Structure 1
Amino acid sequence: MSARVLVARLDSDGDVLLAGPAIRAVAAGGNAVTLLCGPSGAQAAALLPGVSETIEWTCPWIVPDAPVFDPASVHTLLERIAARRFDVAVVLTSFHQSSLPLALLLRLAGVPRTVAASVDYAGSLLDTRLRPDIDFLDDQPEARRALSVAEAAGFALPPGDDGRLRVLSPPDTTALTGTGRYVVLHPGASAPARTWSPRRCAETVAALSEAGHRVVVTGGPGERDLTAVVSGVHGTDLGGRTSFSELAGVLAGAEVVVAGNTGPAHLAASVGTPVISLFAPVVSARRWAPHGVPYRLLGDQRAACRGTRARECPIPGHPCLNSVHPDAVVEAVHELQAVTV
């Protein structure tokens, strides 16, 4: 008999995409999977194979710039969870997040079994507790960490599933990109510390164009000014012109995607496209680099901001990324083309 399973991943689109292999493992036995996600992860949730339904909730201990705590919101969440009579909950968190507040809410909602990782003593809040320091979770890629939690709950990927990221088939976007080969450059990110400067991005679009590449520049609705500057006269500007699923289609058609450590880099990996990652070391590349596809990491991984988890760059001039020259990106594009031919 299949189980009713709640999987929780309460942060952004990129984090939700990295939970994909764990969700497929849960769904593999015919289990009905409800994904509890935040508003900034809902677009990705809609693209994940294995998700039967989603519950969207703004989690006050996860989201940046969290709103004032609202008891009514919590009571509504408990009612929605209780009504579904879940058999088990799989709580997915990053190394710096606590699973215990949500585990307490799940107990209040009557969920009989909860599985999660916790460095802190969990008492009776968790039925199965993975200890990151003992179970070797902290040095694993984020997708693998999530899959380890699902496995501890008794769920495994089916034979033939390689554990890479995956989304539902994206739409054909040649009406947006035109036909022929192209490279995507995605200049934005939710955290300024993870973005390359607009000047460097624009210089790279020009350098790639001069090297014979057609360049498509992507961005969200709030990034139209940025993508216009970065595209200049050399790139095709798709800023604000794609839904998330259409963005997946644009990335799927690219030879290579150039992006920071941001959701579209993980979306590119989800559609199997190689990634050049302009990676600021404020978080660990081992955990957060593009998963399951060929990639090149650019940026000073030993910079003074290393491991700070800063959202705003603490070093004047943002040297970890702005020291990367556009020629290095052009060279990395050629390397990945050679690898994937």
Structure 2
Amino acid sequence: MTIPALREIRRLFKQARITLWTKPDLRDLFTEVDFIDDVLLAPRASWRQTVAAIRSRSFDVAILFQNAFRPALEIYAARVPIRCGYRTDGRGFLLTHAIRLDPELKHQHQVFSYLNLVSAFGQALTGQTWVDLNSPNQILPLSDERRKEGLAFLAEQGVDLNKRLVVVNPGATNSRAKQWLPERFAAVADQLLARGDTNVVFIGANEEVPLAQQIAAPMRRQPILLTGQTTLRELVSILSCAQLLISNDTGPAHIGAAVGVPTLTIFGPTEHFATRPFSERATVIRQPVWCSPCMLRDCPIDHRCMT
């Protein structure tokens, strides 16, 4: 969801060297983009090591999309001269440009919160606002070579490339409450396979292998299980080849939308309005119930939002 804001930073500061500070497992998302120059991996290490890694780069400016206290403290301790972020979580005193978070942004998609931050920073720094808030570009560019990699990988796994490809992501590693029922995924996958012209491929993390096996076990026709068998780079390449992605509210749904795949995302306990996959080709499926969004990881009642 930060892609449009990163594009605007590049447009505003054409001559700057832009480094993205992110988690190690997200690095492969940005190998072919033209709006950043480098990736700094946030180490799974101590606070001191993180600060040292940032300080070693001698950055002039840091723009924080995260609203938490710790990232602001880290860039302050790393002595980055210009530090911009929202004035949230009691961290305003650590920032040189502490931007007020407009309450109205809570009623818009998160993409616009990030864009507003870049816009406010640009205005404070230069006295002018040039950020395009009307037509955010969320597309993650991929080369033809990457798509060919995806097709080759799928062929090696037994996927018939002459058929349509539907990718199913039935897990949600950070929340059981966000998972649609296994039997529902099985029923949908069976109906797709019954058409005879469609491949169904399951994806997911290593810890979701038992879930994928549970879904596939009672099915009349078997999908191809790639759960736990792909790197992030391979996953992105696979999704770029798909004609449809069906997913719970989790990372692959956003990746699918970013590479332009028609995406169906099933929402239950989470807020769909602000955090849905941002794409004209993305559709939200949800059952409106009084207790949603609860933002809980486990449902304390009957999981009615997902049944």
TM tier, smaller: 0.7 to 0.9
Q: CA deviation at 1:226?
A: 2.5
Q: CA deviation at 1:286?
A: 1.0
- Quote the residue 2:75 is aligned against: 106
- In structure 2, the CA distance between the partners of 1:313 and 1:49, relative to structure 1 (3 Å rule), is farther
State the aligned residue count.
Answer: 285
Letter in 1 for 2:305: C
Letter in 1 for 2:74: L
Kept in 1: contact 2:167–2:242 (CA 8 A): yes
Kept in 1: contact 2:160–2:199 (CA 8 A): no
Letter in 2 for 1:267: I
- Is 1:144 equivalent to 2:140 in the alignment? no
- In structure 2, the CA distance between the partners of 1:240 and 1:313, relative to structure 1 (3 Å rule), is same
- In structure 2, the CA distance between the partners of 1:46 and 1:196, relative to structure 1 (3 Å rule), is farther
Letter in 2 for 1:247: L
CA distance, structure 2, for counterparts of residue 307 and residue 268 of structure 1: 23
Deviations 1:91-112 (A, max 9, x none): 012xxx43x3322322221111
Q: CA deviation at 1:156?
A: 5.7
Deviations 1:73-124 (A, max 9, x none): 111222221221111111012xxx43x3322322221111111123456553
Letter in 1 for 2:112: R
Q: CA deviation at 1:285?
A: 0.8
Q: CA deviation at 1:32?
A: 1.6
Q: CA deviation at 1:279?
A: 0.7
What RMSD, in angstroms, separates the aligned Cα atoms of the two structures?
2.8
- Quote the residue 1:235 is aligned against: 223
- Quote the residue 2:160 is aligned against: 178
- In structure 2, the CA distance between the partners of 1:48 and 1:311, relative to structure 1 (3 Å rule), is farther
Kept in 2: contact 1:119–1:133 (CA 8 A): no
CA distance, structure 2, for counterparts of residue 56 and residue 174 of structure 1: 29
* 3-state secondary structure, aligned to 1:35: strand
Q: CA deviation at 1:293?
A: 2.9
Q: CA deviation at 1:207?
A: 2.0
CA distance, structure 1, for counterparts of residue 290 and residue 192 of structure 2: 27
Q: CA deviation at 1:40?
A: 5.0
1:303-314 counterparts in 2 under 5 A?
303-304=290-291, 306-314=292-300
Q: CA deviation at 1:157?
A: 6.3
CA distance, structure 2, for counterparts of residue 243 and residue 255 of structure 1: 20
Equivalent pairs: percent with the same residue?
A: 27
Structure 2, unpaired ranges of 5+: 123-128
Equivalent in 206, 227, 234 of residue 190 of structure 2? 206
Q: TM-score, structure 2 length as denominator?
A: 0.81
Kept in 2: contact 1:19–1:143 (CA 8 A): yes
1:223-262 counterparts in 2 under 5 A?
223-231=208-216, 232=219, 233-262=221-250
* 3-state secondary structure, aligned to 1:277: strand
- Quote the residue 1:55 is aligned against: 40
* 3-state secondary structure, aligned to 1:302: coil
- Is 1:296 equivalent to 2:260 in the alignment? no
- Quote the residue 2:10 is aligned against: 27
- In structure 2, the CA distance between the partners of 1:168 and 1:118, relative to structure 1 (3 Å rule), is farther
Q: CA deviation at 1:264?
A: 0.4
CA distance, structure 1, for counterparts of residue 29 and residue 130 of structure 2: 22
1:74-223 counterparts in 2 under 5 A?
74-93=47-66, 97-98=67-68, 100-119=69-88, 122-134=91-103, 136-154=104-122, 162-169=136-143, 170-172=146-148, 173-175=150-152, 176=154, 177-179=159-161, 180-190=163-173, 191-212=175-196, 213-223=198-208
- In structure 2, the CA distance between the partners of 1:269 and 1:257, relative to structure 1 (3 Å rule), is same
Q: CA deviation at 1:200?
A: 1.6
CA distance, structure 2, for counterparts of residue 139 and residue 119 of structure 1: 17
Q: CA deviation at 1:269?
A: 0.6
Kept in 1: contact 2:170–2:179 (CA 8 A): yes
